[in-house]
Amino acid sequence: MHLPELSVDPTEAQEGFKDMLELLKELAQESDAQIGMVDPKMWRGPFSEN
């Protein structure tokens, strides 16, 4: 799904990626609260800031 005419600013792409990761974290935490299957340690990876 590559659009050749679409130019993406690397900084914007990185910010979008961070936003997506944050959203995934929130979803994972909600799912964890509901079904208890997501290991929090999964999120302490190379993209973690803490």
Which tens digits make up the pLDDT trace of 9-44? 878 888 888 998 899 888 887 766 665 555 666 656
Please indicate, yes or no, if residue 2 is contained in any of the structural domains.
Answer: no
In a domain? residue 1: no
pLDDT number for residue 16: 85
pTM value is 0.42
- Give domain status of residue 8, yes or no: no
Please list, in sequence order, all residues whose beta carbon lies within 8 angstroms of the beta carbon of residue 40, skipping any fewer than 6 positions away: 32
Range of the domain at 34: 13-43
How many domains in the chain? 1
Examine residue 32 and state whether it is found in any structural domain, yes or no: yes
Are 42 and 28 in contact, with CB atoms under 8 Å apart?
Answer: yes
Q: Which pLDDT value is given to residue 30?
A: 75
Give me the pLDDT at residue 4, please.
65
Query: Does residue 28 sit within a domain?
Result: yes
pLDDT recorded at residue 50: 47
* 36 within some domain: yes
Q: What integer pLDDT is reported at residue 42 of this predicted model?
A: 60
> Does the residue 38 lie in any domain?
yes
